[in-house]
Structure 1
Amino acid sequence: MLKDLAVLLPVDRPAGALIDCAVSLASLFESHLDGVACVYQTLNPMIASEAAAVVMAAEYDTSVEKAAIVLDQFEIAARRLGIPHDAKSTFNVSYAATRAVTEMSRLYDLNIVAQPDRSNPSQADFLSETVLFGSGRPVLMVPYITRSPIGTDRVLICWDGGVPAARAVHDAIPFLRKAKTIDIVAVNESEDATSEISSTALIAHLARRDLSARPHRLKADASNIHNAILSLAADYNTDLIVMGGYGHSRLREFILGGTTRGMFESLTVPALISH
């Protein structure tokens, strides 16, 4: 059940479309929704020079004002739809603010995040990865090109039999129950695959939940899997993609896997992603 949602709001780029998607989702599932704005200090003023500290203080004050504006925008949208909500903000140097948001995100059923836009970078761009790998909860990534509320009629599941994909299917059950059409795409799976983790087995699993799905098997080079998936999503007018988020640990960082990174960069449809 999706009863407690959070939307992570950037303060240095437009957030209107992200807010609209979040409140529409909260309305659909009759959920509580928290809006969280994250304001970063570029450097701890306690260790900066006096001149640098003055500049940083001015930048910080500007960011605080922007956070207040975006949270007001969020509250107006939530009140308009009668959604129970709360507005929160974090103010700290980047690593501390990110840690606070990541810890906070562990108690939500779903965290709604904005897709990073390389042409319009935000200080909060890395939050999507950090929350995906650090929260233990699914994220719903909203493409920066989105201009309308999230639909649930046509859902596309990306399936490879892996643990993240399995978690994503489980996390997406509330969406699947509202879908009119469920498609499953397996890339480079054998046409006669019948193992316990095949797309055929997944269809049988969903059928036991009274969910009907149709399979699609595609062939693609490893570097082009994300494009093949997005092309299929476009062909079927998909409203929502469900997928596992893959990555590997390097010291304290998680590095996105190739297909996951390709989806992060090229996403054209909202995606529920689980790790």
Structure 2
Amino acid sequence: MESSGAQEKMERNPGYYHSLLDQPHDPKLQESIRTDLHRTFPDNVHFRRSADPCLQSALYNVLVAYGHHNKAVGYCQGMNFIAGYLIIISKDEETSFWLMEALLGRILPDYYGPAMLGLKADQEVLGELVRLKVPAVWRLMQDHGVMWSLVVSPWFICLFIDVLPVETVLRIWDCLFYEGSKILFRVALTLIRRHQDLILQAQNLPDVCERFKRITSGALVHDCHAFMQAIFLDPGSLSKSSVSKLRESCRARIVAGES
């Protein structure tokens, strides 16, 4: 809460979260959120309807409040896992709301919403970083015509939830709140760099996809302390200015392609 700026925003806006819940709700927003409630962490005992308390209620409240707070985003798939994870961690609706506001509003650039431009751009930025830092894997992707979005979308959309082990994800999120979104590139590059021999054995597109699923399990990611050390060492330098320039060029390319 402190490092992300969420604590300060919550203290500057007392009662704001509850005022969002008290106002009339958009029926379409409510319907979209309710559709995904039972799909959120179905194996977690606290999200089952038989749980007391059932965290589905808190999840619904946080998502509805955020949808009214940020009407440009509203609600889209993936946000349910982000909010659910925050509720599990913080055990408090209002805290979860303000942490989500910090993530979606400031830390992650345009990841969620109708266009998902920031999400699409960052997947392409990863491709550019792989071209620079793990060129053999980049060439393999080019040779087999594999789009980065095909293999890394779950990594970015859900910020590695249900991709990596829980303890490892929690440590990644610590860094995400403290250092910002470029931490996602460090994680992705480390996974690819450490497993490039396995990836390079792929003979076709399905092979590539299967290997990208395999590289998110195993000893490397289960030892969360060693993995976190690796993500700050393996990828080498990753300055904010270079990431910003890549984001600008990738965004421009995507916009030009869609227009």
TM-score (norm 1): 0.28
Give the structure, 1 or 2, with the largest relative contact order (CA under 8 Å, sep 6 or more): 1
If each structure's helix is expressed as a fraction of its own residues, which one has the higher value? Answer: 2
If each structure's strand is expressed as a fraction of its own residues, which one has the higher value? Answer: 1
